Amino acid sequence: MSNANGEILRREARLLWEQALQYQSEGNLSKAIEHYRLSLELVPTAEAHTYLGWAFSLVGNFDLARKQCLMAIDLDPDFGNPYNDIGVYLIHDFKFDAAIDWFEQAISAKRYDWPHFPMYNLGTIWEFKGLWRRALRYYEQSLKFEPKYIHAIKAQKRVSGLMRPKQGLRAFTLAEANNTLPYVSQIMGDIYLVWSELIPQHARYFEALELKDITGKVPADGLKEHVQILENLNLKLRVYIKELHNLGIQVASPSTGTVNYLAYIDGQQAMYSWRLGDGKICFWHLLDADSNDRRQLKTK
């Protein structure tokens, strides 16, 4: 094949996957998948494999989506999109630990126009785990790349609030804290359910936002619909968290159902720690530590 013919085929292949993206933005996934495949038959590209995987994910086939992304990486390891997309698909399956490495690879990719997405995604994972300082660092990094990224702005404010929990908290004795657990466990169960809905909804929103950025068109299901769902879930979350805060109790980690109680242990301010699945309160941690740094209470 001559260089001229090769260039013609590459242009035709690009036109096909660009047309596929347009179909995808209109919600015509069968046409989109057809055109991605036609593009790949002409010239296999990282873009066509990645976006075909994206289309598969929108019909719920995350295994095929991941396979297409891996094929894209084989063709062009510098292309950042498939690394981020694999991370997003793993979040859909709540495989947060597995997603971390993929987001980190997306951030370091040489050819990627949206590094603020994987940075934000990493922030949500660390927030989910209750590691606020690490979460805040990634939210702040996301805002360095895209200062107007509204979800990173909101997340930064939310985590900053979690890191200064002493305002409005009262000191509990161990007996007082244990007496609240029947009510607290019910509220934390509700918080956990809302958070479990919130994480995959974030992933769906990012997919829609990325499609708009690439095609210049609002997806058929509409960004406003995704934003409204996110706002409703966040509102529920804030109501539950405020309900506990009004009792002087801090929500430490929605994902693990962990709460903190301000306390005095050996004459020093600290936090009793309880999470869903615990019986009575058996753990504590230092005042400014993350909820993952829990220590066993000494038995008397």
pLDDT of 166-222, one tens digit each? 566 789 999 999 999 999 999 999 998 888 888 777 777 777 766 666 666 666 566
What are the structure tokens assigned to 140, written together?
A: 């702040």
Predicted local confidence at residue 225, as pLDDT: 76
pLDDT for position 205: 74
Nearest to 32 by CA among 62, 57, 66: 57
Residue 45 near residue 17 (C-beta atoms within 8 A): yes
Instruction: Fill in the amino acid letter for 1.
Output: M
The number of residues in the chain equals 300
Give kind and range of the element (H or E) at residue 220. Answer: none
Q: Which residues pair with 262 in a beta bridge?
A: 171, 271
Q: What is the pLDDT of residue 202?
A: 73
Report the pLDDT value the prediction gives residue 238, as an integer from 0 to 100: 83
For residue 261, the model assigns a pLDDT of 94
- What is the rounded (10 degree) CA torsion for 127, 270, 245, 198? 10
Compute the distance between CA of residue 7 and CA of residue 2 in angstroms, rounded to an integer.
9
Q: Per-residue pLDDT tens for 77-107? A: 999 999 999 999 998 888 889 999 999 999 9
Neighbours of 226 (CB within 10 A): 19
Contact assessment for residue 126 and residue 96, using Cβ atoms and an 8 Å cutoff: no
Q: Is the CATH number 1.25.40.10 carried by domain 1-76?
A: yes
Tell me the pTM: 0.75
Burial of 118 (C-beta count, 10 Å sphere; 0-12/13-18/19+): buried
Residues of the chain with pLDDT under 70: 1-4, 162-168, 209-223, 299-300
Per domain, the residue ranges of the chain are 1-76, 166-300
Residue 282 amino acid letter: C
pLDDT, residue 127, reads 82
